[in-house]
A and B are shown apart, each in its own frame.
Chain A
């Protein structure tokens, strides 16, 4: 069964460093998303991406964040200068037809900023 794959599963980084979280969405999906879950809290929307551009972003997704689809298969989330409060589980998701089909989530990348 096709699945969304995220790497790495866990990343530890020093405050102020740049990190790139990687995702391989399901191959025939056209809509891509990043969500964040701070430990023990709810899952929060960060950004949606379609047709090589951001379609919507939340207030969390400030200038420190960027997304990219560098090739036909990968979808990345970059945090330019990490802060302690960026420590969270980051989930990538993809859907075939946006709101009209369900989104499938990857297993998550746990980011720890020290």
Chain B
């Protein structure tokens, strides 16, 4: 069975601090996909990134970066120089490669960025 664990329920930081959101996953699939989604207070789910299990290169997109480590089954997300607009719930998710994208979500980490 697939499982995603986000142990951090809530993180509070002050603007401009860096923050890392942890994600640990479990799967028996050799090919799988990892995702991060952002859920702002308005409620929608915003896609941030998708990585496949064969691509362990870290990725940077502006202030966002992702660290994928297969050895520890982790896919952590770092926001550099956080801003108030980053306040949201962030979900890590996992899917297999059976043709359909059934996403298994973690419980989410609520990030509060104060001015």
Contacts and interface: CB of A to CB of B under 8 A. Distances in A.
Interface string A11-36: 00000000000000000000101010
Nearest to A48: B100
A41 B91 CA distance: 11
A103 B49 CA distance: 11
Interface string B77-115: 000000000000001010111111111111110000000
B43 A48 contact: no
Interface residues of B, number: 26
Interface of B (DSSP majority class): loop
Given A35-B103, A42-B107, A48-B102, A99 B43 contact: no
Interface of A (DSSP majority class): strand
Contacts of B50: 102
Contacts of B97: 99-100
Interface of A: 31, 33, 35, 41-45, 48, 50, 55-56, 89, 91, 93, 95, 98-108, 110
A103 B103 contact: yes
B101 A105 contact: no
Interface string B41-52: 011111100100
Determine which residue in A35, A43, A106 has the highest number of CB atoms from chain B within 10 A of its CB, and name it: A43
Contacts of B96: 99
Contacts of A100: 97
Contacts of A102: 35, 47, 50, 101
A55 B103 contact: no
